[in-house]
Amino acid sequence: MSTLAGKTAIVLGASGENNFGTAIARRFAAEGANVVVSARRQAPLEALAAEIGGSAVCCDVTREADIEALFSAARDAHGGVDIAVFSAGIHGPGLIAELSAESIRPALEVSFIGALLFFKHAAAVMGEGGSVITVSSLTARLPGPGLAVYSSARAGIDHAMKVAVWEYEDRRIRFNSIAAGLINTDMTAPLFDMEGVVEKHLEATPAGRMGTLDDMAEAALFLADEARSGFVNGQVLDLAGGQQMGRLPRF
* Rounded distance between C-alpha atoms, residue 7 and residue 220, angstroms: 14
CB atoms within 10 A of CB 145: 12
* Rounded distance between C-alpha atoms, residue 216 and residue 197, angstroms: 20
Our answer to whether residue 168 is catalytic in this structure is no
The answer to whether the beta carbons of residues 173 and 132 sit under 8 Å apart is yes
Q: Which of 47, 50, 68, 48 is nearest to 59 (CA)?
A: 68
Structural element, H or E, at residue 128? none
**How many CA atoms within 13 Å lie on the side-chain side of 249?**
14
The single residue of 20, 86, 118, 150 carrying the catalytic annotation is: 150
Give the CA dihedral 138, 141, 145, 146, nearest 10 degrees. Answer: 60
Residues designated as active site: 150
